[in-house]
Amino acid sequence: MHTTFRSSLFIVLLSFALISCAPDNSAPVDSGPLVRNIEEFNSAVTTLQPGDKIILANGTWSDVEFELKAEGLADAPIELTAEEPGKVIITGESNLSISGSHIVVSGLVFRDGYTPTSEVISFRTSNDELANNTRVTNTVIDDFSNPERQDSDIWVAMYGKNNRFDHNSLLNKGNKGVTLAVRMNTEASRENGHVIEYNYFGPRQTLGSNGGETLRIGTSHYSREYSNTVVRKNYFDRTSGELEIISSKSCGNTFRDNVFFESQGTLTMRHGHYTLVENNYFLGNRKPNTGGIRIINENQTVRNNYLYGLTGHRFRGALVIMNGVPNGPINRYDPVIDSAMNKNIVVDSDHIQLAAGADEERSAPPTGSSMHDNIIMTRTNLEPFTIYDDVSGISFEGNILNDEASVAIDAGFRYVPYSVVENEHGLRVPAMSLVGEIGFGEIKLPVTKDDTGATFYGKEESKKAFQSGQTIAVTSGTNTILEALDSSSPGDTLLLDNGGEYLLTKYASVNHPVTIKAESGEQPILRSEKSSFFIIENGGALELENVWIDGAASPDQPGNNVISTSRYSMNRNYSLVVRDSKVTNLDVNHTFDFLKVYRNTFADSIDILNTEMTNVTGSILSLDKETDDLGIYNVENLGIRNSRFTDIQGSVANIYRGGTDESTFGPIVVVEGNQFTNTGLGARNKSGASLKFHGVQKLDVSNSNWIKSAPIELYLTNGEPITMIKDVVMTDTGNIRANSDEYSTENVTYERALTP
Ligand code: CA
């Protein structure tokens, strides 16, 4: 391997020579020596010369920490690659760190494991040994997530200068921490000129706290330094970890020609100046919390971007210009100065927010800024602009708005008929005459999903939906459900007999999405002799449909439940649906809950639909286990609809999201069409409420009745929560309790008994 030849011809000839000397070596003829284990790797890296290759043998590499220090040359880089791209699978507690220069890494897959350090692929081997002029390409990190949900790590940490990260697939990060971070913690990593391009940033689940950014460049400490990183032609596919898809925290960065597909959150210029955001496409497709571009700081340019079907409000609006903190500390919001938001096209998106976030601290409105020649066509919200403070520091000129819509700014807007058609590229576009007027150019995705990511790695959906698989008939009897669960695959349906009796004498573990149901008709009855019927383990999700859950066979002890999450950290979000079902007799002892959740678990959604629950000594949904006031919580979307709750001693729902963090969308709650009778009044119900919502960001309660029940309790926190309670009747039930009057009510009736 002491190759010193510069000519590729000689390298090829040498490879032939090496292969002929080593009969075991089955590597393709154009490759260098194959290494088969970490010892061989460690030995190979000590002698690397420019032009050398290290080729990892196909197979599974478990618990390996690759450290590659090497000095290649521009025309003779050092390569680390796979025998065949995609066939080297790195698992267990593993990572890769690189330092030196002119190194190319390719063809690797990180899967089924996590890094024991805080970085999976690091462009440094120590604080002062960094990688420069180095490329990582055609590589995959898929769900290489720390099992501890709140243990933070970074999948790719770029240090040094002039590095290129391209054609990689990063998907399914489950734990906290930025997916890809450009670090600027030493001088040698600033003004770095990194290029991040043609990557596939695949689905990132809602984290339910801060720290779910997909891309971050810099940190607040170095945010007034230049990074000069270019992010172009990447595809962000449902990267919905938190409010910030991208958090640009340094100066001089460019974001051009990227596509954001159904991603919750925004491209945020959180810190730093002189950012260019150009020709990016945001396709919200009317999915919840989808956002666009948010300007903070000075000399930012946002132009020629296309934004469609974005529904996000407040900080995750389609276009947002923030208020700042005058002379604030470096980690707060700098005022917007001399920034431009011009020639953008916004179609059927709901919110454009100006001077957003204005409050006592963020009291400096934008100055010296412009909003020119934007086309805004919307029928989804006819008042798309929200103006929170003085916007005289923004000049408005040449903007075009459809004539049903309005904006409370006098000059700078022209009204035209709504004219949106689908163009030949399948995009919803305004009339071409208008597009031509602002000089936007062709409206076409600047990069497709297929153009991005590792060539060998698929982009198909990995998460199976309920009832998307096979149906397994389950005859009534003891533990027949357990046997069926064991043999089921993700998305399968267990079909029970109408009127059948099912007994569980063991815990039923739910390890993947599964539905347990009966056809319409008489409900089968399920009983359990254990303290839980079902345990949703990491990766599991459960749907119950047309079944009757009865607590009569449960052990005579306090603290039983029907459904429990794993008691350990779950780095995969779960969901729970209970539909057309009945729950009775959870009363063999006290504190018999319907659902018990543990810390470090997170539900994307919990839905109780058209279901009747009667006689419960505990609570139905206690989602209050994250008590550290860090903005962490247990459920994103909770829906309780068309259901009846009778004689429930605990609360029906109790959500807790404490702290002042502003980086999440949820919890989001809908309570609609229900009846609550004698609920929440048990002596052990510490909340003293039938429904308690602390820190819920969006709450809709409607068309419901309370009879002889504990009241609703609201604790409104920061983030401008939206709370509406309407068309409800409270009979012999206390008044709504709240810490603030910043909520809305409509048609709330209290009917009181004459005697208490
Ligand atoms: Ca954040």
Three-class SS state of 449: helix
Mean pLDDT of the region 526-530: 98
- Tens-place pLDDT, residues 206-238: 999 999 999 999 998 888 899 999 999 999 999
Choice between 405 and 22, residue whose per-residue pLDDT is larger: 405
Distance 289 CA to ligand 1 centre (A): 15
Average pLDDT, the chain: 94
Structure confidence by residue, pLDDT tens digits, 737-749 = 999 999 999 999 9
Distance of alpha carbon 528 from alpha carbon 578, whole angstroms = 18
- Ligand 1 centroid from CA 664, angstroms: 9
Predicted pLDDT at 144: 98
| Band of pLDDT at residue 32, cut at 50, 70 and 90 | low
Tens digit of each residue's pLDDT (9 = 90 or more) over 140-194? 999 999 999 999 999 999 999 999 999 999 999 999 999 999 999 999 999 999 9
Report how far ligand 1's centroid is from the alpha carbon of 725 (Å): 30
Give the pLDDT confidence score for residue 603 in this predicted structure: 98
Expressed in angstroms and rounded, the spacing between residue 242 Cα and the centre of ligand 1 is 7
Q: How confident is the model at residue 26, as a pLDDT?
A: 43
What letter represents residue 409's amino acid?
Answer: I
Name the band, by pLDDT with cuts 50, 70 and 90, for residue 753. low
* 21: phi then psi, degrees, rounded to nearest 5: -85, -15
pLDDT surpasses 80 at 718? no
Q: How far is the CA of 244 from the centre of ligand 1 (A)?
A: 5
For ligand 1, the distance from its centroid to the CA atom of residue 158, given in whole angstroms, is: 18
Tokens of 219: 């940190």
Whether 326 has a pLDDT exceeding 90, the answer reads yes
Q: Provide the pLDDT for residue 719.
A: 75
CA–centroid distance, 211 to ligand 1, in Å, is: 5
* Cα of 53 from ligand 1 centre, angstroms: 39
Instruction: Give 245 Cα–ligand 1 centroid separation in angstroms.
Output: 8
Terminal CA-to-CA distance of the chain, rounded, Å? 90
DSSP state of 480: H
Average pLDDT for residues 695-712, to the nearest whole number?
A: 97
Count the alpha carbons within 13 Å of 214 in the hemisphere toward its beta carbon: 33
What confidence score (pLDDT) does residue 2 get?
Answer: 41
**What is the CA(155)–ligand 1 centre distance, in A?**
16
What is the whole-number distance in angstroms between the Cα of residue 441 and the centre of ligand 1? 33
Q: pTM of the prediction?
A: 0.93
Distance 665 CA to ligand 1 centre (A): 12
Please check whether residue 264 is in contact with residue 240, taking contact to mean a CB–CB distance below 8 angstroms: yes
Ligand 1 centroid–CA 265 distance in Å is 10
The pLDDT score that the predictor gives to residue 28 is 44
Residues with Cβ–ion distance below 5 A, ligand 1: 210, 244, 663
Q: How many angstroms does the Cα of residue 214 sit away from the middle of ligand 1? A: 10
Report the range of poorest mean pLDDT among 26-30, 468-472, 532-536, 667-671. 26-30
**What does the pLDDT average to over 294-307?**
98
Q: How would you classify the pairing of strands 644-648 and 675-679? A: parallel
Q: If you measure from the C-alpha of residue 200 to the centroid of ligand 1, how many angstroms do you get, rounded to a whole number?
A: 21
Residue 209 alpha carbon to ligand 1 centre in Å: 8
Contact 677, 646 (CB under 8 A): yes
Cα 98 off chain centre by: 29
Distances (CA, A) of 246 to 234, 281, 316, 406, 662: 12, 14, 12, 30, 15
Q: How far is the CA of 279 from the centre of ligand 1 (A)?
A: 24
In the predicted model, what is the mean pLDDT of residues 476-489? 98
